[in-house]
């Protein structure tokens, strides 16, 4: 089965150091044992992805310099996408506090850098997803026809981040105000599990991943919903390297999903969000030449004579 990982960062040395030394995630990384990771060169990471059947990875940027003073990581997103354009899909991190400069930036990165969407972190911006500062960005995404990726669960021990900024009921408001906007709620809106499921269920334009919370309390509710209500609305995402992609794949394999549902979550739903041809369309009809290949000369003459007789009647 083909796999698209909708939240992935290669565990290169620069990425690992950037995460564990950031103002946002330093304490969280220390508490979770993030230091266990050993960096690998990008070409080896790519080879491992291909060996696991991963055909694309969405790499999301993060920009929260107005609230935390940390430099954005968008340069690495662009670097990875340029190195492996057929494998990596870039979503540029946007800081809503930049105002109209952020809006202009969205257009620039899509048209000049080939980004396929934007990513934002309301809990790091200290705003709700339905805050007024986000609305010009959402409007620009609608204009450009790109999705927005919204981080909707605060990791532990992130300074000044509160759960109120990640309530899926705010995404429900945005979905109604921007019905053309494709919205991906990352991390499943945890711990607002039921609200996240229902926001996806009732809004045609809302999707989610449950990265980092596949084994958390109430995770069985997510998987039960995938089997019934929202099979078309969940995207596989590992959040690698916060969670090892191999472990995440094993969790989904053990979740008891049917082959049809698994294919949607692991591949087809992401194709739909990204506007890709998933390769599931009906095969093209064989050409006339293909259909006639191998037919004897006598049968061909008989067929032509029959057609001519029919046309003269």
DSSP-derived secondary structure for 196-244: HHHHHHH-TTEEE--TT-TTSTTHHHHHHHHTTT-TTTB-----BTTS-
Rounded CA-CA distance 55/72 in Å is 26
Tens of pLDDT, residue by residue over 229-280, are 999 999 999 999 989 999 999 999 999 999 999 999 999 999 999 999 987 4
Cβ neighbours for 29, distance < 8 A, ≥ 6 positions apart: 19, 20, 35
State which residues of the chain have pLDDT below 50: 280-295, 307-308, 310-311, 313
Cβ neighbours for 79, distance < 8 A, ≥ 6 positions apart: none
For residues 152 and 188, the answer to whether their CB atoms sit within 8 Å is yes
160: left (phi over 0), alpha (psi -120 to 50) or beta: left
Q: For the domain with range 3-274, which CATH number is right: 3.40.50.150, 3.90.1150.60, 3.20.20.140, 3.30.70.1350?
A: 3.20.20.140
Kindly state the DSSP code that residue 138 receives in the 8-state scheme.
H
- Provide the residue ranges of all domains of the chain, joining segments of one domain with +: 3-274
Kindly state the DSSP code that residue 30 receives in the 8-state scheme.
H
Please report the pLDDT score of residue 281 as a whole number: 38
Helix, coil or strand: residue 257: coil
Please report the pLDDT score of residue 285 as a whole number: 34
Rounded CA-CA distance 103/96 in Å is 9
Please report the pLDDT score of residue 113 as a whole number: 98
């Amino acid at each position: 089965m083909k796999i698209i990982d909708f939240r992935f960062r290669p565990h290169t040395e620069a990425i690992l150091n950037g995460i564990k030394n950031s103002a946002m995630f330093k304490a969280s990384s220390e508490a979770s044992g993030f230091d266990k990771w050993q960096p690998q060169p990008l070409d080896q990471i790519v080879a491992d992805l291909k060996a696991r059947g991963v055909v694309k990875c969405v790499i999301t940027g993060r920009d929260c310099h107005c609230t935390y003073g940390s430099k954005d990581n968008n340069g690495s997103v662009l670097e990875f996408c340029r190195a492996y354009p057929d494998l990596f899909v870039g979503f540029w991190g946007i800081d809503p506090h930049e105002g109209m400069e952020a809006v202009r930036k969205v257009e620039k990165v899509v048209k000049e850098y080939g980004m396929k969407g934007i990513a934002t972190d309301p809990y790091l911006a200290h705003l709700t997803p339905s805050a007024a500062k986000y609305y010009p960005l959402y409007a620009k995404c609608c204009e450009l026809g790109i999705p927005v990726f919204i981080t909707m669960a605060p990791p532990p021990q992130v300074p000044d981040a509160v759960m109120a900024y990640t309530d899926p009921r705010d995404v429900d408001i945005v979905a109604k105000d921007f019905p053309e906007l494709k919205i991906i709620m990352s991390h499943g809106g945890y711990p607002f599990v039921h609200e996240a499921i229902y926001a996806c269920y009732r809004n045609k334009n809302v999707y989610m991943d449950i990265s980092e919370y596949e084994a958390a309390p109430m995770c069985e509710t997510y998987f039960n919903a995938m089997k019934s209500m929202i099979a078309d609305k969940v995207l596989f995402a590992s959040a690698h390297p916060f969670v090892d992609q191999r472990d995440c794949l094993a969790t989904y394999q053990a979740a008891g999903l049917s082959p049809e549902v698994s294919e949607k979550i692991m591949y087809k739903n992401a194709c739909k969000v990204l506007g890709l041809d998933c390769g599931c369309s009906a095969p093209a009809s064989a050409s006339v030449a293909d259909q006639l290949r191998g037919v004897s000369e006598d049968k061909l003459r008989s067929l032509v004579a029959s057609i001519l007789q029919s046309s003269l009647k």
